[in-house]
Structure 1
């Protein structure tokens, strides 16, 4: 069974890359707007090894494409990265944070807790997490990458003029979807970066990978796990495992969707392997999947291509790439991240249609002989929409997935309270519930 599935995935990967090579390559580059800035910042900070990060994430890209057949990303763990940058984590501290999260996810998978947790979360809350993550990407791109730009600064190759040009090109690509947007923008940005690096005599040079082992000490575990790992755990569970499974089913319904447990095991395996060698803690984020899908990726072939590229660069150039990558225009990266955020936030549109997973499973309503999913009253639509927006709004407002999740669940339970009380009253009338009274 496993061998047959692997052959089917491989056959589909080959078919898609042969029919749409430019789209798959363009899609492979779609998530660089998130990956590059964080990887570069952590490298410059002395927290991770760029060589190890490129090599291990490249290997994970290849394995993900081969076994899942989807353009699943290999993204930085953003909560860990944020704390590591602010606190200038050492190699041991960030490794401890990644290993802690991976161990927890592994335990969740083996005990069945992750599967149960995914089953009890209402779809409006899941979509709220996705919408909130998409809006957060847009805000982060505007604040971190674009806001610091001027009309002529910091250079001729990186300014607001190029941001506007890239955004106008994105609007055109929204109409003509066959345009390999990410590939074109990446090549232009890479050309600009090479020119700037050459002007300062800081081009990459041949530098073979020299692996080293990172073993967290006692204080590393305390600082890494408590200060960064605990905050990352809900983000990984909700957005990088549960939400990414739902998003894969929404975007690519014709492709077999991996289970929550298999995605969780993948996240655990990636970090239980790479973190020992100075690699950046990573996960499968829904934002990265939306980005790669938006820019043309439809199969695992896209991330296999990206993985091979990362492996080759990491093995032979590694740390010498820092000077080049820091010169990649923020103006172009920012627009790529905005496009990914728009794509991810757009999944909320299907909340009250038959495209929503929980509605598609119900008894279909019939209008004009067509199945459109169960009919919802205006009140039900409003309730579902409110739950989604409460989740997304709190997530964005507090910049915390856990707060958004808790707020969305409380809103969902509140809407269900009247029917719950009615069921209790009905059971009491039937004598199935007896309240204690005087003797």
Structure 2
């Protein structure tokens, strides 16, 4: 049964099984990073989950669609490998928030989007799809038998017409395995505090990480995600609006213990792949994150079988990869898409975006 109301942004707000499964499709791009953060840093996982929960709801209702909320992967990756401490991560997130808010409010991202060319943006989508596929393989090889079982579940449910439900079944099994391993923690309300895991501290490493992150964020989380909103949901969402909302998110969330967050084409494709069509998915996922914040511990998260998430990431990667290639028909544009995707996988999404833009401009000048 589905319940729906009308939001102010001409989109049904529906609460149904497909919205629930679609919501969980976004979480598979988030949970692996949260597990790694819990193991390697001093971050407060309950505060991080509250940040995700609040802003899933806020931006879902604001945009009136299943808008994605993801970690800023370049900065989070640097924190996981030990290059950034949590105070440095917080400082980088605040700096990124200021920059994104300013460029969004002055319309600079939209100007860049018009100059870059659609094949480059599609290439960024492909790069993210390839990175998700790489992550999926990495997670799956940690426990091949578990991954094979998860793949079998997804395949069987898809064959009988319940592909969207596979995410609910797979995540449910993983959660049950985690609870069976470490037990159910006692619910506890996280303490409200300013910078509960450490006061921000700017450093050369944090500044370099911010620059790398902004390249990825502008290319993927703003421009590529804006394009994907039209592809998947027939919605006209500007890249400048997305940049502004990401800036607001970082500036509002990081001081209360959350991590730097952004939108992203991977999470958006994940929601669509598993059935989300309205902002109801964001409300459901936001409530889920807030509930998980009451019981989440590092031990509980690390007990979750990551190989199961790898299986679901494959589905998300295929959805995003299909969206990247679907509108492209001429050979030159296909070459640009493929080249940007490969460079993004091999080097960095931000670097691929810049190089692709320069190459596309040079090719356009020759015609």
Give TM-score scaled by structure 2 length: 0.92
Q: How many residues align?
A: 359
The separation in 1 between residues aligned to 2:102 and 2:233, in whole angstroms, is: 29
Distance in 2, matches of 1:206 and 1:114, equals 43
Query: What stretches of structure 1 of length at least 5 have no aligned partner?
Result: 1-5, 150-159, 354-380, 420-439
Separation in 1 of the partners of 2:205 and 2:149?
41
In the other structure, the counterpart of 1:352 is 328
1:12 corresponds to:
12
Q: Does structure 2 retain, via aligned residues, the 8 Å contact 1:125–1:405?
A: yes
- 1:386 matched to 2:367? The reply is no
Are 1:317 and 2:295 counterparts?
Answer: yes
Shift, 1:413, TM fit: 2.7
Tell me, what secondary structure is at the counterpart of 1:207?
coil
Q: Does 1:292 align with 2:271?
A: yes
Q: Name the SS of the counterpart of 1:13 in structure 2.
A: strand
- 2:225 matches 1:244: yes
Detail structure 1 runs of 4+ shifted over 6 Å in the superposition: none
Q: Considering only aligned residues, what root-mean-square deviation do their CA atoms show, in Å? A: 2.0
Q: State the Cα distance separating 1:238 from its structure 2 match.
A: 0.8
Query: In the alignment, which residue of structure 2 is the partner of 1:410?
Result: 358
Q: TM-score, normalised by structure 1?
A: 0.77
Alpha-carbon displacement from aligned partner over 1:363-409 (angstroms, at most 9, x marks no partner): xxxxxxxxxxxxxxxxxx111111111111111121x0122123322
Per the TM alignment, residue 266 of structure 1 is displaced from its structure 2 partner at its CA by 1.0
What residue in structure 1 maps to residue 308 of structure 2? 332
Kept in 1, the 8 Å contact 2:20–2:284? The answer is yes
Indicate the residue corresponding to 1:104 in structure 2: 99
Hey, what's the Cα distance between the residues in 2 that align with 1:46 and 1:223? 19
Deviation at 1:121, TM superposition (A): 1.7
Distance 1:179 1:34 in 2: 16
Is the 1:96–1:224 Cα contact (8 Å) retained in structure 2? no
8 Å CA contact 2:7, 2:13 repeated in 1: no
Q: Radius of gyration: which is bigger?
A: 1
Higher-RCO chain (CA-CA 8 Å, sequence separation at least 6): 2
Cα offset, 1:260, TM superposition: 1.5
1:305-328 per-position Cα deviation (integer Å, ceiling 9, x unaligned): 1101212332x335xx32222111
Q: Distance in 2 between matches of 1:88 and 1:182?
A: 33
Partner of 2:152: 168
Aligned counterparts of 2:185 and 2:238: Cα–Cα separation in 1: 41
Residue in structure 2 matching 1:235, options 192, 212, 216: 216
Contact 1:100 1:225 in 2 (8 A): no
Counterpart-to-counterpart distance in 2, 1:105 and 1:317:
33
Shift of 1:207: 1.9
Correspondence for 1:156 = none
C-alpha distance in 2 between matches for 1:302 and 1:266: 18
Q: Report if aligned partners of 1:27, 1:293 keep a CA contact under 8 Å in 2.
A: yes
1:378 — aligned with what? Answer: none
Q: 1:12-34, CA deviations, whole angstroms, 9 ceiling, x for partnerless residues?
A: 113xx2xxx11110111112222
Give the Cα separation in 1 of the matches to 2:359 and 2:26.
33
* Correspondences of 1:297-312 after superposition (within 5 Å): 297-312=276-291
C-alpha contact 1:26 1:183 (8 A) present in aligned 2: yes
Alignment of 1:128-147 (within 5 A): 128-143=123-138, 145-147=139-141
Q: CA deviation at 1:172?
A: 3.9
2:339 and 2:54 mapped to 1: Cα distance?
Answer: 38
> Which of 230, 251, 275 is residue 272 of structure 1 equivalent to?
251
Look up the match of 2:3. Answer: none
Shift of 1:178: 5.5
2:74 is paired with a residue whose SS is helix
Aligned residue number for residue 436 of structure 1: none
**2:222 and 2:325 mapped to 1: Cα distance?**
21
Retained in 1: the 8 A contact 2:67–2:268?
A: yes
Of 220-229 and 31-40, more deviation after overlay is shown by 220-229
